[in-house]
Structure 1
Amino acid sequence: MFNHTITWVIIVLLIIVITYFVGPVPPKPVYSTEWPKVPADFSELEAYIAAREDSLPVRKDNQARILWHDSIPRMTEYSFVYLHGFSGSYRDGYPVNVNVADTFGANIYLARWADHGLRPSHSLEHFTPETAWESAREALAIGSRIGKKVIVMSTSTGGTLGFQLAAKFPDSVFALINMSPNLKDDVPGTFLLNSPWGMELAMLVSLGDSRELQHEEPEASQYWDTIYPARALVNLQALVSTVVKKETFEQVTCPVQTLYYHKNMFEEDERVEVNKIPRVHKQLATPAAMEETVALDTPGTHFIGSDIKSKDYRAAQREIIRFCREKLQMKVK
């Protein structure tokens, strides 16, 4: 009787294991390396960006835009491209992004990922790793139109995309400045979203087809997507897992600065695993003298460059300006 019971238990377990591994798996993303075509004329470039943003249900002040230094449309020696994080906007790194560009007399393109910053019923509706990558590639192309040397600045998963840009377009990225890059989610079990039944797990975690988030800061709901499809979490994990690889980092040769919040083991970034950051930097092909990691103990948040979220965004701003002056030899204007 005992042996019979054991046999049935083993059979049931085998069925469960087989069912799991033959379950639906999210498709592997395919990342194009084609250089996007954007207008060369400044007026046409602005019109191109505005036409797309105006054609979509973009929430107030979430639109992509170029901020010209001194409000004059002309190419500057350096330009910044800012890539926000998943479900975020330019405000997840503002005012640091804009202040740094202004400090060095540089134009800056504040990108908006595809399907981000839209009114709730449309938020992240068609988000995929490929659409995020397409947005990043176009942002780099626009940055190349408005500045001779492009510095990609980012927050969170914008940093994931930034590393990919530097790896695939090494001649077009002058430097990377990453604020709290998403190299690994700090939520236990996140990797399961990219495994068989990942979509079903995402729906289980979200308690339905959609995920709804609450922010402590009233202003945050305008600049972060607070309701979006559960499948977006699966696509986010697919993006991170297919980009964050040794072969990606080994192709990065440009100067790199990575900043993150860490005070102690109990007070540190609550969204990404910061202990992975130094390990990733060791894999870069960047000369040791031109790469650095900076732990900040005062921001108190993942969003170290945001005046909405951070207790001390100026700490990040000071370190970035120092890096630009000392490592990149940029002059304050």
Structure 2
Amino acid sequence: MRRVTQFFKKFFGLLLIAIAALWLFGPREPIDANVIFEAASLNDDLDGYLAQSEARFGDLTDGIQKRIIWAGANGAKTDLALVYLHGWGASSEEIRPVPDDVAAQFGANLYFTRLKGHGRPSNLMAMSEPTMNDWVQDIAEAIAIGRRIGERVVLLTTSTGGTLAVVAANDPALRDGITGIVFVSPNFGPTEPMAALANWPLARYWLPILVGEWSEWEPHNALQGKYWTTRRQIVSGLPMMALIKYINGINLRDLDVPALFIYSEQDEVVSPALTAAAIDTWGGPKQVEKRIMTSEDSPNHHVIAGDIMSPNQTVETVQIISDWIAGLLN
């Protein structure tokens, strides 16, 4: 009996050591914010450059490609350029026509990016292809294009687009030339507590077994069904959570970029408490606008502007953003 007891003690001791070693040294989703994109790779014909880049994908939803909306003649630089960064699982259409209407107020060129893996809902594996670093390259490219089409650049972001904007604000090379950032429902962390499991060791392998391989939800309307990816693999969320973990290590007090925060305290997708905490510690000048949805607006209080999800909020949101940008420019 004593030998059996000693055996189990050794067994469980070794098991605990193995678990501890796995926790400390086991592979996790890569966290990499290193920028390798070079602005010099952009040629003089930006429209042609973007068209060629997007032509590689034959399964893109029509109308959500990376593109520039020129305020005047194609190629003509404007005093201000807006760069729109959409959220995870969404696309350029997310809060339109808010970006377009704000750009029109200032005669500004407008660039819509497309995060890797997005806008390809017919390809069920597309959202599982990118890494966090792929999205960092997307925002580096977007900012470089913004600098090419405008003397000053304002980032207009929704949800995880805002998370990426924090990465940019923390990178001196990307930060240079950014006049301000608009955060609409910024993603500083999801409301779903189980999402934290994505940052555990080997999560890419055991998480689908634990919670299921696929995530699927019903769109609010036909246009959301068209422009969002409503069915994707569970592992597609791992790069997004790696991104969240990365920005959690940033001291937001060190970020001096002027920021406008627009969010709902009833947001059911990203944590309003984490948003409020981020606002409190943001180091640059900031303005906060808390929005209340009507019965005709986003039922989960997340996409809180734009005609697809929150049509009653569009006009006021455009005015709030335009007034704030006008203050920056003056």
TM-score (norm 2): 0.86
2:70 pairs with 1:68:
yes
Partner of 1:265: none
RMSD after superposition: 2.6
Note closer, same or farther for the CA distance 1:145–1:271 as it changes in structure 2 (3 Å cut). Answer: same
- Offset of residue 156 of structure 1: 0.3
- Offset of residue 141 of structure 1: 0.3
After superposition, where does 1:307-318 map in structure 2 within 5 Å? 307-314=307-314, 315-318=316-319
| Distance in 2 between residues matched to 1:10 and 1:316, nearest whole Å | 63
2:241 aligned residue (237, 249, 253)? 237
After superposition, where does 1:210-289 map in structure 2 within 5 Å? 210-247=214-251, 249-262=252-265, 268-286=266-284
Conserved in 1, the CA contact under 8 Å of 2:35 and 2:137?
A: no
- Offset of residue 27 of structure 1: 3.9
| Distance in 2 between residues matched to 1:122 and 1:70, nearest whole Å | 38
| Distance in 2 between residues matched to 1:69 and 1:303, nearest whole Å | 26
Partner of 2:149: 146
- Offset of residue 122 of structure 1: 4.3
Partner of 2:54: 53
2:222 pairs with 1:207:
no
| Distance in 2 between residues matched to 1:17 and 1:36, nearest whole Å | 48
2:286 pairs with 1:291:
yes
Per-residue CA distance 1:168-226 (angstroms, 9 max, x = gap): 12222110001001001111121121012422453146522x33332121111221112
- Offset of residue 277 of structure 1: 2.0
Q: Secondary structure at the match of 2:84?
A: strand
| Distance in 2 between residues matched to 1:117 and 1:85, nearest whole Å | 11
Structure 1 gap segments, 5+ residues each: 263-267
Note closer, same or farther for the CA distance 1:245–1:317 as it changes in structure 2 (3 Å cut). Answer: farther
2:198 aligned residue (189, 193, 198)? 193
Note closer, same or farther for the CA distance 1:54–1:21 as it changes in structure 2 (3 Å cut). Answer: same
| Distance in 2 between residues matched to 1:277 and 1:137, nearest whole Å | 24
Conserved in 2, the CA contact under 8 Å of 1:85 and 1:157?
A: yes
- Offset of residue 311 of structure 1: 4.7
| Distance in 2 between residues matched to 1:205 and 1:124, nearest whole Å | 20
Note closer, same or farther for the CA distance 1:22–1:282 as it changes in structure 2 (3 Å cut). Answer: same
| Distance in 2 between residues matched to 1:205 and 1:100, nearest whole Å | 44
| Distance in 2 between residues matched to 1:184 and 1:17, nearest whole Å | 31
Q: Secondary structure at the match of 2:165?
A: helix
TM-score (norm 1): 0.85
Conserved in 2, the CA contact under 8 Å of 1:120 and 1:227?
A: no
Instruction: Tell me the matched-pair count.
Output: 315
Partner of 2:179: 174
Note closer, same or farther for the CA distance 1:201–1:293 as it changes in structure 2 (3 Å cut). Answer: farther
Q: Secondary structure at the match of 1:37?
A: helix
Q: Secondary structure at the match of 1:174?
A: strand
- Offset of residue 12 of structure 1: 5.7
| Distance in 2 between residues matched to 1:184 and 1:9, nearest whole Å | 40
| Distance in 1 between residues matched to 2:81 and 2:311, nearest whole Å | 27
| Distance in 1 between residues matched to 2:20 and 2:288, nearest whole Å | 40
| Distance in 2 between residues matched to 1:40 and 1:54, nearest whole Å | 16
2:88 aligned residue (83, 86, 89)? 86
Conserved in 1, the CA contact under 8 Å of 2:29 and 2:199?
A: no
What amino acid sits opposite 2:260 in the alignment?
A: Q
Note closer, same or farther for the CA distance 1:15–1:306 as it changes in structure 2 (3 Å cut). Answer: farther
Per-residue CA distance 1:107-166 (angstroms, 9 max, x = gap): 010000112112323421311100011101100000000000000110000000011112
- Offset of residue 21 of structure 1: 5.6
After superposition, where does 1:22-171 map in structure 2 within 5 Å? 22=22, 24-34=26-36, 35-41=38-44, 44-56=45-57, 57-70=59-72, 72-118=74-120, 119-168=122-171, 169-171=174-176
Conserved in 2, the CA contact under 8 Å of 1:40 and 1:145?
A: no
